[in-house]
Amino acid sequence: MRSRKKSGSSVLRIFGIIGFPVKHTLSPHFQNAAFAYLGLDAEYIPFETAPRELKAAFGKFKALGVRGINVTIPHKQAVLKLLDSVSPEAKGIGAVNTVVFKAGKTRGFNTDGEGFMRSLKSDLKFNPKGKAVFLFGCGGAAQAIAFVLAREGARSIAFTDQMEERAKKLSSKTGKDFPKCRVKYTPFIGERIHEEVLGSDLLVNTTPVGMHKGDPCIVNPKALHRKLAVYDIVYNPPVTPLSKEAKRRGLKVANGLGMLLYQGVLSFELFTGKRAPVEVMRRALKKAVKCLR
């Protein structure tokens, strides 16, 4: 890896990520690796920011000349009201994960959805156009994922969540935004979920189930039919009970490391205007994940 070039006359450009908590974030590992590789005088820093501190934090970022930030839980929706403008995709998703500071103005973007789509197509080799999707979990990540799946022409998306109203709300919003995509709310009942997965081409888990020892497979393994592709956004551990069962049956499986990578790649390019060194970032991210185990 190239060492970062330092220039006595250049000004260190600051980027970062805000969240609460945010100490666990892996983003600095691969963003700083990219800055170093390209010889940029830049640094990416985590800024732990409680919800009550969000507005004040933006004032400080502007005063300090911060060039861009990523936004994670719990600020992705709350940050919208603090921005001067947002991209059409961020507006459609209803959440922002990337903010660029330029000429005294702030513009919000969402790279989560496109990051997922790049990973889906490159890591899982799956094109959702004309396909039936079952989305397990309807929280923040699911909002971005549902948006891009419908935008890319998924034939249908079935939604389920332990929080019934959350699933119904996301299902309704997706149907209104993309009327050509058939949407369906599936009650959080084992038999109904089983039936829906059997009729799907792609199963996406957007919940944290699988992160902890003793977590179950999110669906009855018998529903994992041979034509099903599985994308589990959990990446630590790299193999969850769901992905283990899917692999046992010879299914195509991918975890969320690719989504994390590509959303960061897109953010890097928005921050710097330069093409991201994807493989450098991938190696740094994989190394950081190994250190967590």
Encode pLDDT of 112-134 as tens digits.
Answer: 999 999 999 999 999 999 999 99
If asked whether residues 154 and 223 sit together in one domain, one would say yes
Q: Which two tokens stand for residue 250?
A: 């010879």
Give a yes or no: residue 288 inside a domain: yes
**Residue pointed to by tokens 């490159």:** 122
If asked whether residues 246 and 264 sit together in one domain, one would say no
Residues taking part in catalysis: 76
Residue 24 CB contacts under 8 Å (≥ 6 apart), including other chains? none
If asked whether residues 120 and 188 sit together in one domain, one would say yes
Give a yes or no: residue 5 inside a domain: no
Provide the pLDDT for residue 293.
66
If asked whether residues 232 and 208 sit together in one domain, one would say yes
Mean pLDDT, rounded, of the chain = 94
Provide the pLDDT for residue 9.
52
Encode pLDDT of 148-159 as tens digits.
Answer: 999 999 999 999
If asked whether residues 251 and 153 sit together in one domain, one would say yes
Q: Is the preceding omega at residue 74 within 30 degrees of 0, hence cis?
A: yes
| pLDDT tier for residue 166 given thresholds of 50, 70 and 90 | very high
Q: Which CATH number characterizes residue 197's domain?
A: 3.40.50.720
Domain count across the chain: 2
Which run of H or of E encompasses 70?
Answer: strand 68-71
Q: What does the alpha-carbon distance between residue 57 and residue 20 come to, in Å, rounded to a whole number?
A: 13
If asked whether residues 80 and 100 sit together in one domain, one would say yes
If asked whether residues 79 and 169 sit together in one domain, one would say no
Provide the pLDDT for residue 6.
47
Q: What does the alpha-carbon distance between residue 75 and residue 95 come to, in Å, rounded to a whole number?
A: 9
Strand, helix or coil for residue 7:
coil
| pLDDT tier for residue 10 given thresholds of 50, 70 and 90 | confident
Expressed as residue numbers, the domain containing 61 is: 13-110+258-292
Number of other residues whose CB lies within 10 A of the CB of residue 114: 20
Closest of 197, 146, 196 to residue 167, by C-alpha? 146
Give the type of residue at 181.
C
Closest of 160, 167, 146 to residue 191, by C-alpha? 160
If asked whether residues 154 and 250 sit together in one domain, one would say yes
Q: What does the alpha-carbon distance between residue 99 and residue 186 come to, in Å, rounded to a whole number?
A: 35
DSSP code of residue 212: S
Q: What's the mean pLDDT in 183-211?
A: 96
Q: What does the alpha-carbon distance between residue 104 and residue 99 come to, in Å, rounded to a whole number?
A: 12
Q: Is the pLDDT of residue 74 over 60?
A: yes
> pTM of the prediction?
0.93
Give a yes or no: residue 2 inside a domain: no
Q: What's the mean pLDDT in 180-203?
A: 97
If asked whether residues 80 and 139 sit together in one domain, one would say no
If asked whether residues 179 and 227 sit together in one domain, one would say yes
If asked whether residues 201 and 221 sit together in one domain, one would say yes
If asked whether residues 187 and 240 sit together in one domain, one would say yes
Give a yes or no: residue 7 inside a domain: no
Give the type of residue at 67.
R
Encode pLDDT of 238-277 as tens digits.
Answer: 999 999 999 999 999 999 999 999 999 999 999 999 999 9
Q: Which CATH number characterizes residue 68's domain?
A: 3.40.50.10860
Provide the pLDDT for residue 290.
83
pLDDT-above-90 percentage for the chain: 92
Q: What's the mean pLDDT in 16-26?
A: 94
Provide the pLDDT for residue 291.
78
Q: What's the mean pLDDT in 67-86?
A: 96
